[in-house]
Structure 1
């Protein structure tokens, strides 16, 4: 695996690498999905709702379900074609996370700090596990499975995931588990993939996966982010393969022009066997945290550009929905998926 492997914080010795590999090979997160289903992954368990406490964070924790409802209502997707993932177990999570980090989540206070909702600290931990962490673990299972489906079908969308602020031994910014890092390590072992490109277009810097793959040349990171907002992780910025900074107030045309240039450079610099696309919608005009001014149509065009980038190179692509802090995000994401379907970049109809 990786030299010096900061990609799992504590896993660096040959014995530890062998243990990681065994955990991946014995995991049940990869399973065969019938062709009648489409590689769009979601579970009702993704959505976080607990006595209204979830409303104390600006993230819309019901957006995942609303995306799917829009797609079903609009006739683009049949509910029975959606793939439901397995929940990641502790053994699955230990592929990247340290035991001490996972144990720290048994403290409701620690979880409250990571998800940025202080009242969570007052709840019994068994409730925090069931109402907050179980949904996140389910989404992790979805991200990991998405790579297998993308390899088989050419694309996969996890209607969730993209927890790019979490690394092996630290969470933050509403990100409890490092689903991107986990997905990549599973792909290395189970899919025989050795070159992965992360295209992170969430408004925030993806400092979690940057730290996890800081010394791993198999992973190329294109991160296009606003440097004037959280997480201000200057150490992690050193590990970005291709850094594109977009300042507060950047508008759609300028953003898309920068993306075109960035994708062209990325295609010249690296030849991936898998693309992980972190498609945050917090770049939307009006988003209180992203502070950019990208139109809803701009999101649709952005996503189409990334899918075309992968299609032109015949590279499987995994899309994660990541950050987005306005109620309108779910509709915008659904419209983008509909456009991808209309353009023939994905097939949401399933096989007979």
Structure 2
């Protein structure tokens, strides 16, 4: 049952638009056109495809799986929402263009007025963050939810980096812990090519959160301090291919969910594991990514655990098509339903 103004311990908290009721006719797929970053071509200075989220939706519409009517429209996270996790000091630092330039790795941003940077860069990221929080609530209500954006796993409460300015994964979990009765444990399954050091730092001493992280240990961020939070750590070598990768994902995903049966799974489904990705350094095929997502959803479904998926990193133009194809495959396999519920086979 959703609590409106008090958390499960009876403590009052701020009113948030992000936990507003969503019509049952909507699929638990969250998106807003404001996710996409277009800013005088400056976005092209970063390898990230800052329009990939809109392309995913375009492909899903082409296949007639989603429409403007059945999508959930994301809302921008307010300062009050962000302060559930972030420090005031950190949010104040984002008022400096040089700080945002450093976090997003787009140096020319430091030369622009912060009002522009806030509107054209930070607002899209805040809207995606709001989308992840909204999708968390939807996952509990419907059994699954997908935020077509989000997955900013390098950002912690007081530090951004790696194109991640807001800690949306931490925020989604904290909102659920605070506001939804019966949600007191969570498992993060982070399968982006990079170590998820942001949420790891945030949950370092929190025994309610079990973190599994499968990543290329040779690349950014190499955060040894944050690694102490990982309960299942799978470090991959350069060029890891489908067979070894999928075997490890399946083994450790099953192991993690057998070790702790959480109330919710947050699945960080980065596509930067794709062969040829300039930053990921792994060699997974498009079919391997689709199979990976299916393995995770199947493990969750078999145990009846709600799952929230965010799309995270992916630095090639073709990743949008792969994300769309993966979502369509989840539907084809009966792991997500067009009626907004999981439907179809739940066995392997």
Instruction: Quote the residue 2:111 is aligned against.
Output: 122
Instruction: Quote the residue 2:228 is aligned against.
Output: 238
1:22-56 deviations in Å (ceiling 9; x for gaps):
67552221111111110000000000001000010
Which of the residues 34, 38, 54 maps onto 2:27?
Answer: 38
| Aligned equivalents of 2:147, 2:340: Cα separation in 1 | 16
Instruction: Quote the residue 1:284 is aligned against.
Output: 274
- Where 1:272 maps in the other structure, the secondary structure is coil
| Aligned equivalents of 1:87, 1:262: Cα separation in 2 | 34
Alignment length, in residue pairs? 334
Q: Report the CA distance between 1:239 and its aligned residue.
A: 1.2
Q: Report the CA distance between 1:237 and its aligned residue.
A: 0.7
Instruction: Quote the residue 1:163 is aligned against.
Output: 152
Which of the residues 296, 300, 304 maps onto 1:306?
Answer: 296
5+ residue gaps, structure 1, are 1-17
| Aligned equivalents of 2:93, 2:84: Cα separation in 1 | 17
| Aligned equivalents of 1:144, 1:348: Cα separation in 2 | 21
Task: Provide the TM-score with structure 2 as the length reference.
Answer: 0.93
**Within-5 A mapping of 1:266-345:** 266-345=256-335
Task: Provide the TM-score with structure 1 as the length reference.
Answer: 0.92
**Following TM superposition, where does structure 1 have runs of at least 4 consecutive aligned residues deviating by more than 6 angstroms?**
20-23
Q: Please state if 1:228 is matched with 2:228.
A: no
The question of whether the paired residues in 1 share the 8 Å contact of 2:188 and 2:267 is answered with: yes
Higher mean alpha-carbon deviation, 138-147 vs 77-86, is at 77-86
5+ residue gaps, structure 2, are 1-6, 342-348
| Aligned equivalents of 1:323, 1:172: Cα separation in 2 | 13
1:180-230 deviations in Å (ceiling 9; x for gaps):
000000000111210100000000000000000000000000000010000
| Aligned equivalents of 1:34, 1:80: Cα separation in 2 | 10
**Alpha-carbon RMSD:** 1.6
